[in-house]
Amino acid sequence: MRSILKLGVPVVAAALALTACGGTSDDNDASSAPTEVKVGFFGALTGDAANLGQNIKKGAQLAIDQYNATNPKTKITLVDYDSQGNPDQAPGLAKKAIDDKAVIGIVGPAFSGESKAADPLFNEAGLVTISASATNPALSTNGWKTFFRVLGNDASQGPAAAKYISDVLTAKKVVVVDDASEYGKGLADIVKGDLGSTVVATDTIQQKQTDFGPTVTKIKSANADAVFFGGYYAEAGLLKKQMTDAGINAKFVVGDGVKDDGFITAAGAKAAEGTIMTCPCLPPDKAGGTFYTDYKKAFNADPATYGAEAYDAATIIISAVKAGKTSRADVVAFTKAYDQPGVTKQLKFDDKGEPTNVTVWAYKVEGGKIVPDQEVK
């Protein structure tokens, strides 16, 4: 299915030409340029949400590896800051990155909660952060001069999810559940507000929770024909499994934090089938240039959620280095003025660090795989 919905939020179809990450050493011949700089990846590489972080890191790694393969004067090293998706760890990791003066930019933070905790420190230090996945709308309202993200926030994803539930699923009774996280609750609240009186019940679970009996009972009692869940794939998978075991046939709709094969593993293929996932991310096979084939060759796997967006985020910092902009202040200024085609969209930011071009897609689990369903406009 490839129909297109009208949402009232201007979006531009992505899949533009690939920005060159390579080039020759002539691109980087400033006599004052250092011989090596570092870019940090900030996000979960271990823990319950590690799959999402690994996807993002691989996208950034591909862009940097392609750049380094051209033997430029200034090499770039990708440094890991594994937050485990835990906001409590974010300030300490941010300080570690800030104290390493060779770090000129951050791809991330990956999640909204850790972004809220770490970005004030990055802003104070003048260290640019370009997130490929943190979607809470409030992040761009803090006046941070170093904050940027290459994807739309939940002020676009939330209405898209609500529109899909009401117009495509034609649901009349919806239960909205969140995981109490900065991301999950924020997204669920937007969906709830847009659906209005269609929402007949709400509930909140906790991250790392495994028994969702009370929530399942509430969904069943409400006789819901759709359930929206704001949170991450580990809890979503178990919730969906327990809903199915209880004989609940309501359509399950989730946000981008669930868009990972880990959801199918946790739920089981049978229970996961038919789940709808919204994401302000482009289907990887629609990415521009040779990104898809390059990624598959590099990692022997198809690109997953936010890999292409991370490639774009890293490309902006790489482009600064190629232009001889290797101080933290110069990279911030370069990013603020950036306006070039990426693999997912034209990359340009407004004065809050938000992308000027946004797309939202609905995906679904079909035959044990997550596949594109339709672009939501």
How many folded domains does the chain comprise?
Answer: 2
What is the predicted pLDDT for the residue at 31?
A: 52
Which pLDDT score, from 0 to 100, does residue 32 have? Answer: 66
Residue type for position 310: A
Whether residue 349 is contained in a domain is answered as no
Q: Is 153 in contact with 136 (CB distance < 8 Å)?
A: yes
Mean pLDDT score, 347-351:
98
Give the pLDDT confidence score for residue 324 in this predicted structure.
95
Top pLDDT among 8 and 103 is at: 103
Residues 241 and 297 in one domain: no
pLDDT in tens, 186-199: 999 999 999 999 99
Q: Which residue has the tokens 């050493």?
A: 25
Average pLDDT over residues 335-355: 98
Q: Count Cα atoms within 13 angstroms, Cβ side, for 130.
A: 32
Tell me: pLDDT of 17 over 80. Answer: no
Going by their DSSP bridges, the two strands 276-279 and 360-366 should be labelled as antiparallel
Residue 20 has pLDDT above 80, yes or no: no
Whether residue 322 sits in one domain with residue 261? no
Asked whether residue 333 is domain-assigned, the answer is yes
In-domain check, residue 303: yes
Is 210 buried (19+), middle (13-18) or exposed (0-12) by CB count in 10 A? exposed
Task: Kindly state whether residue 137 falls inside one of the protein's structural domains.
Answer: yes
Domain co-membership, 182 together with 239: yes
pLDDT tier for residue 56 given thresholds of 50, 70 and 90 = very high
Decide if 263 contacts 217 (C-beta within 8 A). no
Give residue 71's pLDDT band: very low, low, confident or very high (50, 70, 90). Answer: confident
d(CA 310, CA 60): 5
Q: Domain check: are 371 and 236 in the same one?
A: yes
The mean pLDDT value of the chain amounts to 92
Looking at the fold, whether 29 and 120 belong to one and the same domain comes out as yes
Average confidence (pLDDT) over 205-217: 97
* Residues 141 and 159 grouped into a single domain: no
- Clarify whether residues 232 and 368 are in a common domain: yes
Could you tell me which residue, 91 or 34, shows the higher pLDDT?
91
Q: Are residues 169 and 215 in the same domain?
A: yes
Indicate the residue type of 311.
Answer: Y
Q: In this model, does residue 139 exceed pLDDT 70?
A: yes
Q: What is the pLDDT of residue 138?
A: 97
What does the pLDDT read at residue 377?
86
Cβ proximity of 257 and 183 under 8 Å: yes
Q: What is the pLDDT of residue 7?
A: 40
Name the token pair of 54. Answer: 């690994």
Together in a domain, 240 and 325: no
**pLDDT, average across residues 94-106:** 98
Residue 185 sits in a domain of what CATH number?
A: 3.40.50.2300
Average pLDDT over residues 241-254: 98
- Segment 357-374, tens digit of pLDDT: 999 999 999 999 999 999
Output the pLDDT for position 6: 39
Mean pLDDT of 338-343: 98
Rounded mean pLDDT, 94-117: 98
What is the residue-wise DSSP string for 109-136? --SHHHHHHHHHHHHHHT-EEEESS---
Residue 29 has pLDDT above 60, yes or no: no
Mean pLDDT of 345-356: 98
For the stretch 157-181, what's the b/e string if a residue is b when 16 or more beta carbons lie within 10 angstroms of its beta carbon? bbbbbbbbbbebeebebbbbbbbeb
Per-residue pLDDT at 26 exceeds 50: no
Mode of pairing for the β-strands spanning 339-341 and 174-178:
unpaired
Cβ pair 228, 253 in contact under 8 A: yes
Clarify whether residues 136 and 69 are in a common domain: yes
Tokens of 31: 């006599």
Full domain range(s) for residue 51: 25-152+283-344
User: Any residues with CB less than 8 A from the CB of 374 and at least 6 apart, and which?
Assistant: 1, 2, 3, 4, 5, 168, 361, 362
Residue 245 lies in a domain: yes
> Could you tell me if 274 and 306 lie in one domain?
no
Question: Does 353 map to a domain?
Answer: no
Which among 310, 305, 332, 350 has a CA at the least distance from the CA of 51?
305
- Residues 341-368 have a mean pLDDT of 97
**Residues 256, 137 share a domain:** no
Q: Is the pLDDT of residue 177 over 60?
A: yes
* pLDDT value of residue 34: 85
In a domain, 20, yes or no: no
Q: Poorest-confidence range of 68-77, 110-119, 210-219? A: 68-77
Domain membership flag for residue 354: no
pLDDT surpassing 50 at residue 320: yes
Q: How far is CA 17 from the centre of its chain?
A: 21
